[in-house]
Amino acid sequence: MVAQLESFSANSTISLPNPVEGLVQVFTSSHRNFFTTVMAQALRIAGQGTSVLVVQFLKGGIGQGQDKPIQLGQNLDWIRCDLPRCIDTPQLDEAENQALQKLWQYTQNVVYEGKYSLVVLDELSLAINFGLIPEADVLEFLAKRPPHIDIILTGPEMPKSLLDVADQITEIRRSDRP
């Protein structure tokens, strides 16, 4: 006797009785060198067939921008601000400010369209603390996002209002052990 098995692909649409709510996760630390932890998670999830977007708001220097994402595999798009330098100060010239605002607007649009299931917003807390992206706009964005989309926020000194809406907070600390 031969039995026919139904096989599921990673891109199949499965109707669940109760939709899965997306999470807001925060990764924060007093230092800025923990991006690899978040990137490893994004790569793992993309490797399982989930569409992922990584947005680095304060990184530049490679002429990338939202029009030229780096694609890591089939499911992970990685974009940086279209700037000739990395931002490490709240003082931006007009072209730099426009590039950052354009990236923020693009990010909001693709999230509202539901193009990605996981979106990483790297160093968003610094952009907020520098006064480059209003905290109220980020809170509104999180409230209006489609409910199934996971968002990861990263950066030092995460504003309390964002910590208050987070479903999970990971604080990365240095160990005192040698």
DSSP letter string, the chain = ---PPP---TT-----SSPPPP-EEEEEESSS--HHHHHHHHHHHHHTT--EEEEESS--SSS--TTS-EEETTTEEEEE-S-SS---SS---HHHHHHHHHHHHHHHHHHHHT--SEEEEETHHHHHHTTSS-HHHHHHHHHHS-TT-EEEEE-SS--HHHHHH-SEEEEE---S--
Give the pLDDT of residue 162: 96
Looking at residue 28, its pLDDT comes to 87
pLDDT < 70 positions in the chain: 1-19, 31-33, 60-65, 176-178
The confidence score (pLDDT) of residue 87 equals 74
pLDDT at 41: 87
pTM value is: 0.82
